[in-house]
Amino acid sequence: MQVLKMELQGFKSFADRTTLTFAHGITAIVGPNGSGKSNISDAVRWVMGEQNVRHLRGQKSEDIIFAGTEKRRPQGAAEVSLYFDNSQHELDVDFTEVVITRRIFRSGESEFFINKRPCRLKDIHLLFADTGIGQDSMAVISQNRVDAILNSKPEERRLIFEEAAGISRYKSRKQEGLRK
Ligand code: ATP
Ligand code: MG
């Protein structure tokens, strides 16, 4: 399933409304240190429902909202939208384009939307369940995770491959079944 576009506003270093469009094939994001490349992958994880701000390299939820610079005032909210091509109906909704949006205010209040309609985080989890691009998938691998994978023991690495192959849920279901 193709990601078509991402819009960010007030997310980390992206104070202004920023639109990234992704063509077919591989997209590489390049730039100097500190220019915001990792902030883009953080935005992907966040909009997909990441709940632990430390996984986004922050300490508290406010850390993902543009904090201001000498010349610019801080933003009151952060918002990220991710657009998916759903023409093959891999996501179980009638739309041929699906956009998920997350917004957070300094108060900590968080909102989720599917195609601009308010929803629960759970609805986003359900929409992406079994697609391999959900919150817990291997779709986004951070720098420190690469080190962890390389340094892991064979048994730990096996779990990573099982998760990537989408068989961990069958394993947990099997264990559930054996317990009964
Ligand atoms: P590297 O090549 O070193 O990995 P990078 O391009 O991945 O760099 P990022 O880590 O994405 O860079 O961006 C870091 C920048 O984002 C820093 O300059 C930091 O000040 C800025 N930043 C992070 N959070 C915020 C925020 N809440 N408000 C404003 N700027 C922020
Ligand atoms: Mg980086």
Q: Which domain holds residue 110?
A: 3-132
- 100's enclosing H/E stretch is strand 97-105
Is the domain of 73 the same as that of 118?
yes
CA of 155 from ligand 2 middle (Å) equals 29
* One domain for residues 76 and 27: yes
Residues 115, 148: one domain?
A: no
pLDDT of residue 166: 67
Helix or strand run (H / E) with residue 118: strand 117-119
Same domain, 60 and 84: yes
* pLDDT tens over the chain, length 180 residues: 899 999 999 999 999 999 999 999 999 999 999 999 999 999 999 999 988 898 899 999 999 999 999 999 999 999 999 999 999 998 989 999 999 999 999 998 899 999 999 999 999 988 988 777 766 666 777 777 788 888 889 998 887 787 777 676 677 778 888 887
When divided into structural domains, the chain yields a total of 2
Q: Same domain, yes or no, for 157 and 106?
A: no
142 alpha carbon – ligand 2 mean position (Å): 9
| Residue pointed to by tokens 């994880």 | 45
Task: Please report the pLDDT score of residue 3 as a whole number.
Answer: 93
152 annotated as belonging to a binding site for a ligand: no
Q: Do 27 and 85 sit in the same domain of this protein?
A: yes
| CATH code (residue 57) | 3.40.50.300
Which residue shows structure tokens 């610079």? 69
Are 44 and 118 part of one and the same domain?
yes
47 and 100 both lie in a single domain? yes
pLDDT at residue number 20: 97
Return the ligand 1 atom nearest residue 40 CA.
11
* Same domain? 170 vs 99: no
Q: What is the ipTM of this complex?
A: 0.98
